[in-house]
Amino acid sequence: MKKLYGTGVALVTPFKKDERIDFNGLEKLVKYVLDNEVDYLVALGTTAETATLKKEEKQDIVECIQSANYKQLPLILGVGGNNTRDIVNQINSIKNLSVFYAILSVSPYYNRPSQEGIYEHFKSIVNCTEANIIVYNVPKRTGSNVMPDTVLRLANNFKNIIGIKEASGNVLQSYKIIEKKPKNFSVISGDDFITLPVLLGGGESVISVIAQGFPDKVSQMVSLARKNQVEKAFSIFYKIIKMIDLIYEEGNPTGIKTLLNIIGICNPYVRLPLLIGSPSLKKKMLNLLKQINS
């Protein structure tokens, strides 16, 4: 299986004011990132507000993304949760599983399992499904950290566990995995702030939120880093670093949807318990965009 390199985009789910899905906005977003040289797409991740979507809505969203994906880039599908048996059933109920490059599955949240519990969770998934799995580690959201030793055990013991989206925010944790991982296992940055250190340390790619707002810049930055053109890569990063800060100031995806609305891609609406971006956030983003584009 060909490894994933470069820039992946964690797509939002655009909504209309009445909270129905805005499929026109979603098509426009997919076309926008495809036109600006991203390398793969991620559907139904955290940034897509997946926790607030019904089963039928998820299916319609995936079909819309597949239809709009005119470049036929690899598509990763988010299927995760804290009920192991339910995750297995969900993955096995997917029609045409082979059209997805991999399933992105978050470490169980709220239950706060031990490292052995996390290991057994992913072992149960890969033993019961045909899918390739990318483990998603995001301790801020799950309440537990998938430690490097656990990641390496999974990587060495199951060929279908093909990578980790590492969003602990800890560069050293990524390096500990990169140092000892099998050759065909990918370390993917799940944090826009540390994409460059992860790539320069031997990681393969990023699943990015900010890449929706600046797909051309992030794609170029990642490409430069992979060619070891460090100074040029960091010059792009420093242009957008304040905006990365801003898109998380009022939560994700509130911030990125505010930015996407400003640049004319889709509406800023989110579903409760998230709230729409404040006028003050929008003003800060507008001022910063002028600086970035000047």
Nearest to 60 by CA among 23, 89, 110: 23
User: Which amino acid is located at 248 in the chain?
Assistant: Y
95 Cβ contact list (under 8 Å, min separation 6): none
Specify whether the backbone of 193 is left (phi greater than 0), alpha (psi in -120 to 50) or beta.
alpha
165 annotated active-site: yes
For the chain, report the end-to-end CA distance as a whole number of angstroms: 42
Cα–Cα distance measured from residue 83 to residue 78, given in angstroms and rounded to the nearest whole number: 15
Taking every pair of Cα atoms in the chain, the longest distance, rounded to a whole number of angstroms, is: 53
2 annotated active-site: no
Catalytic residue among 32, 101, 165, 257: 165
Q: Which residue has the tokens 């899905």?
A: 21
Nearest to 278 by CA among 287, 288, 268: 268
Catalytic residue among 32, 40, 101, 136: 136
| Burial of 227: CB neighbours in 10 Å, binned 0-12, 13-18, 19+ | exposed
Active site residues: 136, 165
